[in-house]
């Protein structure tokens, strides 16, 4: 039986051979204390912003919801 690290290495090599490459992404930690408050703070800054309204309207029009349930 192969050790885990060898299996992972082989799996990653197969992915590379298929044209993929690994990418590391760092995203906000939604569990962090204060995250919700910061989201609200930033959202409140955009209230009434003309460019934000325009962007939201564009996204609404561009959204593909085919097959989604409401």
Domain-located, residue 7: no
Residue 59: is its pLDDT beyond 90? yes
Asked if residue 45 belongs to a domain, the reply is yes
On whether residue 48 sits in a domain, the answer given is yes
Total domains, the chain? 1
Q: What angle do CA 24, 30, 53 make, to 5 degrees?
A: 95
Instruction: Give 40-57 pLDDT, tens digit per residue.
Output: 999 999 999 999 999 999
Residue 3 lies in a domain: no
Residue 18 is assigned to a structural domain of this protein: no
pLDDT of residue 2: 75
pLDDT band for 68, please (50, 70, 90 cuts): confident
Domain that holds residue 53: 36-62
- At 45 the pLDDT is 96
Residue 47 in domain:
yes
Say if 53 falls within a structural domain: yes
Instruction: Please write the tens of the pLDDT for every residue from 3-29.
Output: 999 999 999 999 999 999 999 999 999
In a domain, 16, yes or no: no
Contacting residues for 35 by C-beta, under 8 A, at least 6 apart: 28, 29
């Amino acid at each position: 039986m192969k050790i885990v690290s060898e299996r992972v290495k082989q799996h990653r090599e197969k992915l590379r051979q298929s044209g993929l490459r690994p990418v590391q992404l760092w995203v906000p930690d939604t569990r962090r204390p204060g995250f919700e408050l910061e989201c609200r703070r930033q959202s409140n800054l955009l209230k009434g912003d003309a460019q934000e309204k325009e962007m939201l309207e564009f996204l609404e029009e561009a959204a593909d919801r085919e097959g989604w349930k409401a």
